[in-house]
């Protein structure tokens, strides 16, 4: 089945790999990116299938203009929120502007893309929203506190949203890849180090990534293929976990949380009022 996809953040990583896969199989892609020229070769190869729009997802007015223009081109079957980056540092090390930029890009940008698309999807009475999160939307590493803030936050937004729009024929799926060889590390934004955190878990993670001890098992092309294939699954999966690292880490975290919750059952029930 041929589809039309709207994808943010297509200049690199999973967004770029998805775009390549979809064009090769004959789908239409409306791609957004901040850097001009990155997709020129693909545009020359697939002139009838690829539309390109420059977009910074921290610009809400631009989001609305680009999304409206995209839906004016043709009905869109899948909206993929992929744009984002990682802010890498202990919470105390981060600058105020860095915190704001991370939240504006990873969570507010995603929310505003969805909000701009919803009126069009409702009129169509169909569509799927694919929100790219991370294993970091269910677990947390030290030194990534603000990145995790955005991923846990956007997952909560999607959990509520999917209930709000269930009657409109629109589905939502959260994608949770583990560490994947996408060039994500090269795009990490890092603040100056504080000596106070030397030898702590925060800097130990930083060192492991810098010296290659942080194992990355995920394959970008296979991950993108699985993301594309998930749209053929009905009913739409609430979450798709990708990579053995993500599966193992999320599985362990959920088991631990459930065990802790069950141990608190008596305390939880003790807080009820008498009825």
Q: What is the pLDDT of residue 29?
A: 98
Q: Is residue 8 part of a domain?
A: yes
Does residue 266 lie within any of the structural domains? no
Closest among 67, 230, 154 to 162, alpha carbons compared: 154
CATH number for the domain including 200?
3.40.50.720
Measured in residues, the chain has a length of: 275
Please give the pLDDT value at position 184. Answer: 57
Q: Where do we find the tokens 């949203």?
A: 161
Residue 156: the pLDDT is 98
Distant-in-sequence contacts of 46-52, Cβ < 8 A, 24+ apart: 49/23, 50/19, 50/23
138 within a domain of the structure (yes/no): yes
The tokens describing 243, both together, are 């990579």
Res 187: pLDDT: 64
Instruction: Report how many domains make up the chain.
Output: 1
Does 272 fall in a domain? no
Series of mean pLDDT values for 10-residue runs along the chain (275 residues) = 95 96 98 94 97 97 98 97 95 97 98 98 98 97 96 98 97 95 70 92 86 83 98 97 97 98 98 94
pLDDT of residue 215: 78
| 33 domain-assigned | yes
* 38 domain residue, yes or no: yes
Question: Which pLDDT score is estimated for 211?
Answer: 80
Q: Is 264 a member of any domain?
A: no
Tell me which residue range forms the domain holding 157.
4-246
pLDDT for 183 equals 66
State the Cα angle at 91 between 87 and 97, rounded to 5°: 60
With respect to residue 67, please indicate whether it lies within any of the assigned structural domains: yes
The DSSP result for the chain, as a single string, is ---EEEES--SSHHHHHHHHHHHHHT-EEEEEESSTTTTHHHHHH-TTTEEEEE--TT-HHHHHHHHHHHHHHS--SEEEE-----B-S-GGG--HHHHHHHHIIIIIHHHHHHHHHHHHHHHHT-EEEEEE--GGGTS--TT-HHHHHHHHHHHHHHHHHHHHTGGGTEEEEEEEE-SEESSGGGG-B-PPP-GGGTTSHHHHHHHHHHHT-S---EEHHHHHHHHHHHTTSSSPPSEEEESHHHHHHHHHHHHHHHHHHHHTHHHHHHTSPP-
Catalytic residue numbers?
A: 133, 147, 151
Q: Please check whether residue 7 is in contact with residue 19, taking contact to mean a CB–CB distance below 8 angstroms.
A: yes
């Amino acid at each position: 089945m041929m589809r039309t996809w709207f994808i943010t953040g297509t200049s690199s990583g999973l967004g770029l790999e998805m775009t390549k896969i979809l064009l090769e199989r004959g789908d239409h892609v409306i791609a957004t990116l901040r850097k001009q020229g990155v997709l020129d070769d693909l545009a020359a190869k697939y002139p009838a299938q690829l539309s390109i729009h420059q977009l910074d997802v921290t610009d809400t007015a631009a989001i609305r203009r680009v999304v409206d223009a995209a839906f004016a081109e043709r009905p869109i079957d899948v909206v993929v929120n992929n744009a984002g980056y990682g802010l890498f540092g202990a919470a105390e090390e981060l600058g105020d502007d860095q915190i704001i930029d991370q939240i504006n890009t990873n969570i507010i940008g995603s929310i505003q893309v969805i909000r701009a698309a919803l009126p069009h999807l409702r009129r169509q009475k169909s569509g799927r929203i694919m929100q790219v999160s991370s294993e970091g939307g269910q677990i947390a590493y030290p030194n990534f506190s603000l990145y995790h803030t955005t991923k846990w936050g956007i997952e909560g937004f999607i959990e509520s949203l999917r209930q709000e729009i269930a009657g409109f024929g629109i589905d939502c799926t959260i994608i949770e890849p583990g560490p994947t060889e996408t060039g994500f590390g090269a795009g990490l934004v890092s603040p100056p180090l504080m000596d106070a955190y030397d030898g702590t878990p925060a800097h130990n993670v930083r060192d492991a990534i810098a010296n290659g001890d942080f194992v990355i098992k995920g394959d970008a092309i296979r991950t993108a293929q699985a993301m594309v294939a998930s749209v053929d699954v009905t009913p739409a999966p609430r979450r798709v976990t990708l990579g053995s690292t993500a599966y193992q880490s999320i599985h362990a975290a959920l088991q631990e949380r459930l065990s802790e919750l069950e141990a608190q059952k008596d305390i939880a029930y003790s807080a009820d009022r008498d009825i």
